[in-house]
Chain A
Amino acid sequence: MIGRGPFRPRLVRPDRDDRAQSQDYAKAERFRATMLPHMDAAYTLARYLSRDPSAAEDIVQDAFLRAYRGFEGWRGEAAKAWLLAIVRNCFLNKASDMAARATAQPIDEWAGELPPQLVERTNPETVLADKSEVAMLRATIEQLPEPFRETLVLRELEEMSYKDIATVTRVPIGTVMSRLARARQMLAEMLLPGAGREAQA
């Protein structure tokens, strides 16, 4: 919306009665503008970390509440990285509860909820092929061990820089690079026929 954002904090000169509430309001507005756009990214990460749709919803909701309450701690650095670090922490906190359910989902479960753009395609053979390919890719990513999976998802699906991935996963950039290389190598072995062994030679 025009005119919002940087203007607001400087222009509002509340008297004492209104100060707290207008600060609350400004905070909420700032939070909406900076953090809500990353909700899909948050959900994607939670989904691939937890491998469970309803757990992912819980994680993201929990993460946004924590993010809001800790929003004063955000210093204007990359918003997405800041938020996804919280999502990841929420997942880790929940991980022990999840342990029982965390076994890999059967491929059918992914195939049941394809995004509409695939369903809308008219050629049924294409639809089937896409379904199985997307489902297969998702299942393959989910099979990666956690540190490699999260690094790969942050890079390939969330399109984050090494530096931001390092922030989210709290490891040095060198570790990000080696995890990413290893994750891609594992995927190449699983997805590209005949490519795996050569790559290790």
Chain B
Amino acid sequence: MSLHPDKVPLIHGLVDGELDAANTLAIEAHLKTCPDCRGEMSRIEAVREMLGSAALREPAPAALRDRIEALIEAEAPLPVTSRAAAPRTASPLRPSFAGGEITAHIFSRRWASGAFAGVAAAFLMLTLVVPQLAYTGTEDQLVQSHVRSLLAGHLLDVATSNRHVVKPWFNGKVDFAPPVPELADEGFPLVGGRLDYLDDHEVAAIVYRRRLHVINLFVRPARTLSLPVGVAARREGYSLLRWTAGGLEYWAVSDLDPRELQLFHQLYSARSTS
């Protein structure tokens, strides 16, 4: 008995899980009676096993990933960026954080002039949708800022673990004074600070570390329309945590476990008020 060439495609189909029930049964019955075809099948499986190593796959280099994300951003600017460039100025009701575009549309002329149904629908959308969607654009920007900050030389404008240096450094650079508590004894050493941009405005980025992980804490004045609720999110493997305190809005971004980021938030808040 020798290998049956007409069966070989079916053997491959079998190991690849590509056969329908009838063909599966047929080839399995044949394999029982044909040692050569069984040998062929074990060779195929041996080859597949050698190729199963994850090391053969090639993760995209981080620099390439950054370039591609920058490229998409260039093709489709975030709404707030393009809105700022648009001739029409923002109305007072228009939320100024990115991702608030749905809210913006609800308040736009079309909705405002709508009939009762429109108002009801807007109310439903406002209550059901806005809490989930309002921050998505901002979160994207935050993650991108965080990733950019990790590229060589971008993390810090002022590199020091001394909070008495970091805090005054922001003076005159931003028009608010973010608290810069010392958290090294809790395992979150201060690394420094830098200026960053969020929704076209300068924000303070205070940088802490947790072991080898970088935490970027973005701080800006809380907007009148920003919701006082906290937000915890995961995005592209990064944890984001939002809270507001003392008229400031905080966004912590890191690749840390969300629980550790929560711990960071608690310590930071406790030390900021004391």
Contacts and interface: CB of A to CB of B under 8 A. Distances in A.
Interface of A: 1-4, 7-8, 11-15, 17-18, 21-22, 24-25, 27-29, 31-32, 36, 39-40, 42-44, 47-48, 56-57, 60-61, 64-65, 68-69, 114-115, 117-118, 130, 134, 137-138, 141, 152, 155-157, 161-162, 177-178, 180-181, 184, 187-188, 191-192, 195, 198-199, 201
B179 to A, nearest CB: 29
B112 to A, nearest CB: 10
B13 interface: yes
B76 interface: yes
B59 A13 contact: no
A68 B71 contact: yes
Contacts, number: 170
7 contacts: A1-B139, A24-B77, A60-B60, A117-B55, A134-B55, A187-B50, A188-B44
Contact of B56 (A12, A15, A137, A161): A137
B167 to A, nearest CB: 33
B226 interface: no
B57 A40 contact: yes
Leading 10 A-B pairs by shortest Cβ distance: A3-B132, A28-B76, A43-B60, A24-B76, A156-B51, A44-B58, A39-B60, A47-B58, A134-B55, A64-B68
Contacts of A181: 8-9, 12
B88 interface: yes
Contacts of B119: none
Q: How large is the interface on B (under 10, 10 to 19, 20 to 34, 35 or more residues)?
A: 35 or more
Interface in B63-117: 64-65, 67-69, 71-73, 75-79, 82-83, 86, 88, 101-102, 104-105, 108-111
Contacts of B88: 17
B53 interface: yes
Contacts of B55: 114-115, 117-118, 130, 134
Q: Which of B73, B75, B235 has the most CB of A within 10 A?
A: B75
A129 to B, nearest CB: 12
A130 B55 CA distance: 9
Given A12-B102, A12-B105, A156-B51, A27 B46 contact: no
Contact of B110 (A15, A25, A28, A130): A15
B48 A156 contact: yes
A198 B3 CA distance: 9
Nearest to B2: A201
